[in-house]
Amino acid sequence: MEIKVINEQENLQEVMQVLLTHLEPSKVMKFWAACKLSEGDYLQVKENYLLKK
């Protein structure tokens, strides 16, 4: 059986894309702050999301 190790940064970016797709940006940022995910760059995540659309 193979185990795929998930890259944490890629995983967070994918989760943020899902949240930004279904919620208002202000709600996503409040959630991000509550989870203490401020290490990431919201603007970069948002830009990557918009480029993929």
What is the average per-residue pLDDT within 23-46? 75
pLDDT exceeds cutoff 60 at 46: yes
Instruction: Give pTM, 2 decimals.
Output: 0.55
Compute the distance between CA of residue 27 and CA of residue 41 in angstroms, rounded to an integer. 16
Q: What is the pLDDT of residue 25?
A: 86
Compute the distance between CA of residue 13 and CA of residue 28 in angstroms, rounded to an integer. 12
Question: Rg of the chain over CA atoms, in angstroms?
Answer: 12
Compute the distance between CA of residue 41 and CA of residue 36 in angstroms, rounded to an integer. 12
Compute the distance between CA of residue 47 and CA of residue 1 in angstroms, rounded to an integer. 37
Q: What is the pLDDT of residue 10?
A: 86
